Amino acid sequence: MKPKVLITEQIPNEILDYIQESCDCITWEKEGKMPRAEVLEQIDEVDGLLTTHIKIDDELLSQANQLKIVSDISVGYNNYDIEALKNHNIFATHTPYVLDETVADLVFSLILSVARRIPELDRFVKEGKWEKSIGEEGFGKDVHSTTMGIIGMGRIGEKIARRASLGFGMDVLYYKRTPNPELEEKLGATYVEFETLLEQSDFVVVMTPLSDTTYHLIGEKEFNKMKKDAFFINASRGPVVNEKALIQALKEKKIAGAGLDVFEQEPTDPNNELLKMDNVVTLPHIGSATKKTRFDMAMVAAQNLVDGVTGKTPKYVIKELKN
């Protein structure tokens, strides 16, 4: 008898076919994602769960009588209750590496868009306001030959640093818990203390995962230390930033602008003041959203899933659960 798996959202047919070679599948045929209540109804009869960002906690796992693995189609996994997974002895996996270059592209699109005022000037043209030169009030800020500070120099941070240093001739500063001399040698990046990075960077890029220690890592104190003509970029997780402090910093012109792919609440409130600011570029959490990358992520998650229900150790078990 094949193991049974629950798939909580639509995936490409090619990937579904791959899973069905080894598993019987319960699938979700409607738009969007399977509601949590439906997942809870189905979870007791499956060996594996393929999902994205559904909260995996003791409530769910206590009803999962034969569950062996939860496979998330995501690199981030703050939806996982690590202690609950340990207590129930269940594999939990994610999809690192395949999205690194794509997210780095997105970060640079935010940098260029906010610095050169691309969305604002696009509206200017489309609204028929281009009757004369934009004048100095429409000028942006150079990106090349400036200083980028990266908070959280992980895999994606390295890809961003490479683009900044080799592509745009930027000086790259970085801060993380452990310096990386090899990276410094390869890209000419410089490790600095957190406050130094904030004070010296023209573009402050946050790429740290969300945890208890990074929640509201950036707040009023940090914005006060940044240059008044600096731009703030967040493509990691929304709660890493105190959004109220960011709004206040922008209102008081403590920083020049922001490029955001993530928010504290997602989807963000349509009345969020950030959405009304010309010097803020806002995106709907699309860091990995290209057809190829999303396909690759789903395939990696499927491989993790199949391995987990067929007695193999999945390739990308989250680090907290590795022996």
Beta bridge partners of 33: 9
Residue type, 82: I
Nearest to 195 by CA among 160, 222, 164, 163: 222
**Alpha-carbon gap, residue 95 to 136, rounded angstroms:** 45
Helix (H), strand (E), coil (C) string for 161-230: HHHHHHHHCCEEEEECCCCCHHHHHHHCCEECCHHHHHHHCCEEEECCCCCCCCCCCECHHHHHHCCCCC
Q: Is 237 a catalytic residue?
A: yes
Q: Is 94 a catalytic residue?
A: no
Beta bridge partners of 258: 232, 280
- Which position among 94, 117, 163, 237 bears the catalytic label? 237
Nearest to 209 by CA among 52, 60, 96: 96
Q: Is 137 a catalytic residue?
A: no
Please give the distance of CA 6 from its chain centroid, rounded to a whole number. Answer: 25
Instruction: Let me know: does 270 contact 279? Beta carbons within 8 Å.
Output: no
- Which position among 120, 285, 294, 320 bears the catalytic label? 285
- Which position among 41, 45, 252, 266 bears the catalytic label? 266
| Catalytic sites, residue numbers | 237, 266, 285
